[in-house]
Structure 1
């Protein structure tokens, strides 16, 4: 079941492994245990949705919709995106005329920063384009997803998209803004890809233009535990990737920074099917705890290391990789909507706590 173990501070093994084989690096005999336990499951909701509301067919393991109706997210796949949490935008109006004016305003800001040499990754800025992106608008009460593009020429003088971003909330059950409040629009998540300086220009423009707050959307070990437990079994019919758990080691352990635990996807699928009721659209707190306890107990049996004493910092499944720093990478079209629905839900929850 345990496919690969790699530990920072040791030379990587060059031995090939079958799914049933196990390898363990050497770490000078140090014990990787701590009295801390990072599993406060009581702080999260008792259950989470696997699919969309009122639609069991939306579960990833079900038959996907016909190609005529299935959205294509080709431009989102196999790219690393950065997630941000957005507070409600004041006086944001998503009409065509307003979006064109917003694009012009953003272009002016980026142009000014170019002239001040605060942006050096590009030259000859063409324009900023802000437009609807309907594929990420799912529920009847969802705000229409907004796509933001900054295009121009890179340092090699090649026309390209320099920044691509999306403001969205996928099938929201809750919002920070009352439906009666017409002065604010709430897009819980901003997802962007581009150079650091241009992305900073975009977030600064949003904050100054719409009197909002843009902050990094990060995930705790508990958040990531829910994600890997919910999505590990939803991969039938997809290209198999190992389920990956990356843990950071407590600082008191010298010479070792992280442990990467890879599990064969078929083993995870069998475990998931045993723990979860297959026809249920809800994944419960008890199921999350049972799933993670099984994986961590197996690891302890192999290596005598308590993963529960460490911090889960990245998870990977056949559909998506997610890091505690808010970086995300999609691998399948069918995984985009369920994953971003859950991310939207988490963003709203975290905004209410603060």
Structure 2
């Protein structure tokens, strides 16, 4: 069978599903997602959304985080990893860490390690703290890292350019877990990177040797992609999402990719119909998310007789951001950074080795 790529845009005023009264937003549920390789287990809690649906300016994150630092995080695609707690990491030692990592990269390069960033004269590393993202007093402050280089044949006055960026963060981390850690450990479980893979490998290697930690890939499973799709759709009355695009991969031979584009007003009306009577304004329940996705899938099946629920949701995108099953995410709006980082922090903590 040839690979097919279908695109569907919803008509307005579809039949809307009946609201349900049962809510799980205050409980933790075990969820098992079937993939084409194995079964991935995890926990989902209620995902908070900003109260900015009616007054977004009052929750503008640039009022609590330096706008220049916010600009470093948004409108860029990041590759996600998880990292175990860092032993003897200190936010007061960031200048020392900058020098140590710089020396480590130069040393590895001198030993003949290929670093795929061109002809560089040298590397400089900057560690800095992004103040204001932490939601509780147990969350460690976010750490941002930049690697800069100057081209070997560049002019003397040429400024160094950023060749790699990364950051470690913890937003609304599980309190029981964070309180159980010995004082010598700092938990920054979510690691986001952007730049050559060779430099990412070096940075991870330095962290593992220096802070006795380990890294692992952090994918975003279908369930969490559904959460993000619901979150961004729920923002539509405040910030126009412009479109909602979802991509499923179906288990055919060869696999078939289906691209499903939804009119933003249609998506929001369906989402609003799923909002439960007893749901608080700043929470999303798992039932609401499931009902929303089922409504989209049912509409597609009526038109094309293709059951999307038989496949895996691989990619979602709106004007507010995009996310991919492989662990890539782009956040386009600073208003929703804390909410998204809360979800990703939870995903990272759930991936920790036992």
Scaled by the length of structure 2, the TM-score of the pair is 0.80
CA deviation after TM superposition for structure 1 residue 179, in Å = 5.9
User: Are 1:109 and 2:104 matched, yes or no?
Assistant: yes
> Does 2:84 correspond to 1:74?
no
Mapped pair 1:146 → 2:143: yes
- Which deviates more from structure 2 when the two are superposed, residues 291-300 or residues 152-161? 152-161
Partner of 1:129: 126
Residue range with higher mean Cα deviation, 306-315 or 179-188: 179-188
1:86 aligns with 2:83: yes
Deviations 1:101-138 (A, max 9, x none): 11111111111232214213141224111121114223
Q: Secondary structure at the match of 2:58?
A: coil
Partner of 2:115: 119
- Quick one: distance in 2 between partners of 1:133 and 1:69? 13
TM-score (structure 1 length as normaliser): 0.80
- CA offsets, 1:41-91, max 9 Å, x none? x9665651223xxxx63x555432276725332222221111110100111
Q: 1:260 Cα shift?
A: 1.2
Q: Quick one: structure 1 residues 304 and 314, their matched pair in 2 at CA, closer, same or farther if it must change by over 3 Å?
A: same
Alpha-carbon shift at residue 100 of structure 1 (Å): 1.3
Name the CA distance, whole Å, in 1 between partners of 2:152 and 2:324: 30
The aligned counterpart of 2:174 is: 173
Relative to structure 1, the CA distance from residue 194 to residue 344 in structure 2 (aligned partners, 3 Å threshold; closer, same or farther) is same
Q: Distance in 1 between matches of 2:5 and 2:346?
A: 40
CA distance in 1, matches of 2:329, 2:2: 22
Q: Evaluate the alpha carbon distance shift between residue 224 and residue 99 of structure 1 in structure 2; reply closer, same or farther with a 3 A threshold.
A: same
- 1:99 and 2:98 are equivalent in the alignment: no
- Match runs of 1:228-307 below 5 Å: 228-250=229-251, 252-254=252-254, 256-277=255-276, 279-307=280-308
**Alignment correspondent of 1:3:** none
* Structure 2 unmatched ranges of 5 or more: 13-32
Task: Give the alignment partner of residue 63 of structure 1, picking from 26, 40, 56.
Answer: 56
- Does the 8 A contact of 2:78 with 2:194 survive in 1? yes
1:163-242 equivalences under 5 Å are 163-174=164-175, 176-178=177-179, 181-242=182-243
The whole-number CA distance in structure 2 between the counterparts of 1:233 and 1:82 is 25
In structure 2, do the counterparts of structure 1 residues 156 and 142 end up closer, same or farther at CA, with 3 Å as the change threshold? farther
Residues 247 and 259 of structure 1 are in contact (CA less than 8 Å); yes or no, is this contact kept in structure 2?
Answer: yes
Q: Is the 8 A contact 1:272 1:291 kept in 2?
A: yes
Deviation track 1:259-281 (CA, whole Å, cap 9, x = no partner) reads: 11111111111111111147432
Instruction: For residues 208-257 of structure 1, give each alpha carbon's deviation from its aligned partner in whole angstroms, at most 9, with x where no partner exists.
Output: 1111011111122122222222332123332433111111121x433x53
User: Structure 1 pair 125/276, CA: closer, same or farther in 2 (3 Å)?
Assistant: farther
Coordinate RMSD, CA, aligned:
3.0
Assess if the C-alpha contact under 8 Å between 1:243 and 1:263 holds in 2: yes
Q: Decide whether the 8 Å contact of 1:119 with 1:197 is kept in 2.
A: yes
Partners of 2:144 and 2:43 in 1: CA distance: 31
| Secondary structure at the counterpart of residue 312 of structure 1 | strand
Q: 1:247 to 1:152 in 2, by over 3 A?
A: same
Question: Structure 1 stretches of 5 or more lacking a match?
Answer: 1-6, 22-36
Distance 1:190-1:175 versus aligned 2 partners, 3 A rule: farther
C-alpha distance 38-156 of structure 1, shift in aligned 2 (>3 A):
farther
Cα distance in structure 2, aligned partners of 1:272 and 1:240: 13
Contact 2:56 2:335 in 1 (8 A): no
Show the counterpart of 1:342: 343
